[in-house]
Structure 1
Amino acid sequence: MDPQPSTSSQSLSPRKKRPRVALSVTEKVMIQNVYKHVFEEKAATLLPFETPEKQECVSKTADILGIGVTSVYSVLKEYKENEQFKSPEKRGPKHNFKDKLDDFTFTAIRRKVHQFFYANEPPTIAKVLKVVNEDTDLPNFSWSTLRKIMKHLNFKYATKSRQSILIDRQDIILWRQRYLRQIKEYRREGRYIYYQDETWINEGHAPKKAWIDQTVLSSRQAFLDGLTTGLKQPSGKGKRLIIGHIGGEEGFVEDSLLIFESVKNKDDYHQEMYADAFEKWFSEVLPKLKPNSVVVIDNAPYHSRKLESFPTMSWTKSRIQEWLTSKNISFETTMIKATLIEIVRQHKHQHGEKFVVDEMAAQHGITVLRLPPYHCELNPIELVWAQAKGYVARKNKTFKMQEVKKLFEEGLNLVTAEKWKSCVSHVIKEEEKMYGLDHIIDNISDRFIINVTESDSDDFVSEDEDE
């Protein structure tokens, strides 16, 4: 006779519970039917005057289906109250902070951090959070969200004596210094500088603040008193216009306005501009620019399509070999793909990345200069956009796309060469101020930072450390 297996040697793993998700109508019906079956099965073993305990039946139902008892109770309660089941509400796609915020907000937050440096005070997340949330023109953030934003804006933590401070990443500092030196040199050479950018405006664009009569509490009261309920307000943001333009100290480049209506349900206007469309517009603008001039642009993806792609591990081995051969780079046919990619990396700097836009400009004797990420304050066209949008906000009464487009064009026409020159002068002062910023950061870092290693400085500290 075979020995009976011991229960200890064959201990059963507990049934895994399904993750908590919204239940469909079919699932709810199944839960109800299983509960009913368990209840009736239990009742059959009891005397006629006895009733099965609900808690016991619920627990067994949950065990059979691998769900929580809370879900079973919830389904039974829903059916008891409504005598039917409702389908779960459909949820839209999840959006993170990058989908909800625009470049102007990111730039404003970055400037808040730099204000601490200008005041010779080391910034922390807690300090930045306070000043950002106190600014009525900016959204309110939680500590954790602001921390993610700081990382997105290329800030890093540097360890100091008792806590950590936020500083720009080294590559951003180098980019900013390189840009400031380069544009200063171009001005010294007497080269004309154009500034290019894109923006957007909603058909519901209106002033953020307005005077209201607080004594009017209802439309009925307003009617009886011969008053109004105030200015008509848009029901929402509405559709969106995407705008692009280019100009300099002498004003806008003539007949170079790019304007079109946004695709519905797009969160970011950058997603609606693509390289082909921008390059087509840019090719039409280039012949209108002064010889040997400079065009300042940002780092949007559609500005930075590469003229040539460099090999990666996703390439086939034969394709990598063909690329190396075309560049007269020697290799052995017996080498594995990883070794070939390493050779590519070693020679990559000799075949620097070239962008389509840069090459297009070079054919016309024009230089493209790229702004550091989220440095909108170094582009005077941002001030121009603000003037045009302010005009729309003051004049917008219908909140219709056709009217908004007309008003925006009128607003642009009011930005004269004199106003453009004033905006450029303002930016030159910002450049001088920012050039000194990195020296301030160096001084603060020298005073506070101790024992920083490369690995420490690249990672964000925990919440406790920053508190």
Structure 2
Amino acid sequence: MGPPIPRQVKNIIYNVHSFFLRRKGDKESMEHKYDMNINKLVAEATGVSARTVMRIVAEGNSSLQTSEIAKFSSPRKPKEIKKRIHIDDFDMGVIRRKIHQFYTIDKKIPSIRKLLAALKEDGIVNCGCTYLRQLLHKMGYLFKKCKSKRHILIERPSIAEWRVRYLRAIRKHRNENRNIYYLDETYVNSSHTSNMCWQSESEPGIYADIGKGRRLVIVHGGSRDGLVNGALTIFKSDSKCGDYHGDMNATNFHNWVSHKLKNKLAPNSVVVMDNASYHCVQVKKKPTMSSLKRDMQDWLRERNVEFTPDNTKAELFHLINRTQSEKIYVIDEILKASGHIVLRLPPYHPDLNPIELVWADIKNNLATNYINTSLDDKIPIITKLFSEFTPGRWQKCDDHVQKIENQYWDHDMRFDNVIDELIINLGNDSDSEEDMEIEDMYSNEEEEDMD
């Protein structure tokens, strides 16, 4: 099937066909061989297929039933295929620190356009304003009105508070010389390979698979002393055998911590992890309206909250919501029984976990030096790569993370004063065209949309 034919071209083809059709009965035209197949003649004259001519003629004749002249439809514009933009965890960390730099160093308000221009200049992202705005929402940023009725990009207070609390805690544990272990999970697809390579007309380089294929789940942990010996676990996603099956979930994670990690940790250690759902399974969650009434009553009774036997579920649920209760996680209790404590990273801050740099190193080595290997062959290769990852390399990753921690700490300590100064200064400025455009863009946006 050829390219779409515009309406004007269809009209020309129809007129040419009508011309030959009128001349077909003319004696003079008979001498000039106008008696041959008209569809083929028009196709030869216009450069389209005879079938296309027939379809256009049928469309024109059909339109004559309701109109005095032949009318034709225009082809649909081809749908623009947007190129996917991949922003990894490290890029998000860089974007976050760039926003901090705007406030604390440059003393400027980072509008979407200004932030995008700075990120493009540094080669961090190459996207549009809409995508960047969506990414900032995902990272926990709100574009809110300040006192001068201008908009200002502010990190969600709960995330900023969590980060400061985390930084205080991790500094305290380091000053106490406690062993700090970081753990996480990652995946390697069967088609994992480098995205770029040297190519020429005679040397096509490597061919990437169209689909990602099955994948391996990798779980590991480490500290300044290096990766935890014997803690590495690799299993196939969706496999139906062995101690681990399916993708990573709470059961698999708890089994790994219980059998392959906790007994290999130094006494009185700190275990740092992110907020993945299987890391945060609660021992006993707050009852909801779908819970049994007796379970709601038992929950309140355990916390010495008064209620009467004739209270309805709605009343009990109201009492439950008003009751402050600390969340207790299963994994925290498992590690606590062995004398360890858990420290959770603030949301959207993988740049504070050095094991993310370990993943990047291992995956880059695998993609560069072991191309076109099957999923089964990747398992011993990955095991070998981890065994060769020395404590010195981990310490470099850890040093890099501590440098980022210090940057966050310095920025957060200065952030409140800088924001107050900006708000005061904005009160005397007139609205610029860019600010008004941005304000119109966000004027109907509610904070609940970000949650």
- Could you tell me the TM-score, scaled by structure 2's length? 0.69
**Is residue 411 from structure 1 mapped to residue 385 from structure 2 by the alignment?**
yes
AA partner of residue 154 (structure 1): G
8 A Cα contact 1:202 1:238, kept in partner: yes
Tell me, yes or no, if structure 1 residue 55 matches structure 2 residue 30.
no
Give the CA deviation at 1:464.
6.1
The 1:103–1:427 alpha-carbon spacing in structure 2 relative to 1, beyond 3 Å, is closer
Corresponding position: 1:181 with 2:168? yes
Bigger mean CA offset, 196-205 vs 355-364: 196-205
**Take 1:260 and 1:323, find their aligned partners in 2: how far apart are those partners?**
39
Question: Is 1:205–1:396's contact at 8 Å kept on the other side of the alignment?
Answer: no
Q: Determine whether 1:157 maps to 2:168.
A: no
Q: What do residues 392-431 of structure 1 show as CA deviations (whole Å, max 9, x unaligned)?
A: 1220222422333333223222210111122212222221
Deviating 4+ runs (over 6 angstroms): none
Structure 1 residues 170-179 or 129-138, which shifts more? 129-138
Does the residue aligned with 1:259 lie in a helix, a strand or coil? Answer: strand
Question: How far apart are the structure 1 equivalents of 2:104 and 2:194?
Answer: 31
How far off its partner does 1:256 sit? Answer: 0.8
2:293 aligns with one of 309, 312, 317: 317
Aligned to 2:319: 343
Contact 1:201 1:242 survives alignment (8 Å): yes
Q: 1:103 to 1:337 in 2, by over 3 A?
A: farther
Which residue of 103, 110, 113 corresponds with 1:126?
113
Match of 1:440 among 414, 430, 438: 414
Shift of 1:156: 1.3
Counterpart for residue 286 of structure 1:
262
CA distance 1:464–1:286, shift in 2 (3 Å): closer
Within 2, Cα distance between the matches of 1:111 and 1:205?
30
Contact 1:164 1:465 in 2 (8 A): no
State the superposition RMSD in angstroms: 3.5
Secondary structure at the aligned position of 1:372 is classed as coil
Q: 3-state SS of the aligned residue for 2:342?
A: strand
1:257 aligns to what? 232
Q: 1:396 aligns with which of 370, 382, 385?
A: 370
Q: Does 1:116 align with 2:102?
A: yes
Q: Equivalent residues in 2 for 1:10-409 (5 A)?
A: 54-55=65-66, 103-104=89-90, 106-117=92-103, 119-120=105-106, 121-132=108-119, 138=125, 140-160=126-146, 161=148, 163-213=150-200, 216=201, 222=202, 229-236=203-210, 238-239=212-213, 240-263=215-238, 272-284=247-259, 285-348=261-324, 351-409=325-383
**CA distance in structure 2 between the partners assigned to 1:167 and 1:439 by the alignment:** 15
Q: Alpha-carbon deviation of 1:439? A: 2.5
Of residues 289-298 and 156-165 in structure 1, the stretch that sits farther from structure 2 once superposed is 156-165
Structure 2 counterpart of 1:463 = 441
Q: Shift in Å at residue 197 of structure 1?
A: 1.0
Give the drift of 1:132.
4.6
Give distance in 2, aligned partners of 1:390 and 1:379: 18
Cα distance, 1:331 vs structure 2: 1.2
Quickly say closer, same or farther: Cα 1:313–1:248, change in 2 above 3 A.
same
Say if 1:176 and 1:414 are closer, same or farther in 2 by CA, change over 3 A: same
Q: What letter corresponds to residue 55 of structure 1 in structure 2?
A: T
Q: How many pairs are equivalent?
A: 354
Gaps of 5+ in 1: 1-50, 57-69, 78-96, 217-221, 223-228, 265-270, 453-459
Q: Residue deviations 1:283-332, cap 9 Å, x none?
A: 11111111100100000000000111112223243432232123332112
Distance, in Å, in 1 between the alignment partners of 2:65 and 2:150 is 56
**Could you report, residue by residue, the CA deviation over 1:244-302 in whole angstroms, capped at 9, with x for unpaired residues?**
100101111111112122349xxxxxx93210110011111111111100100000000
- Runs of at least 5 residues in structure 2 that lack an aligned partner in the other structure: 1-61, 76-83, 240-245, 428-437, 445-451
- Asked whether the 8 Å contact 1:157–1:461 carries over to 2, the reply is no
Partner AA of 1:256 in structure 2: A
C-alpha separation in 1, matches of 2:111 and 2:264: 47
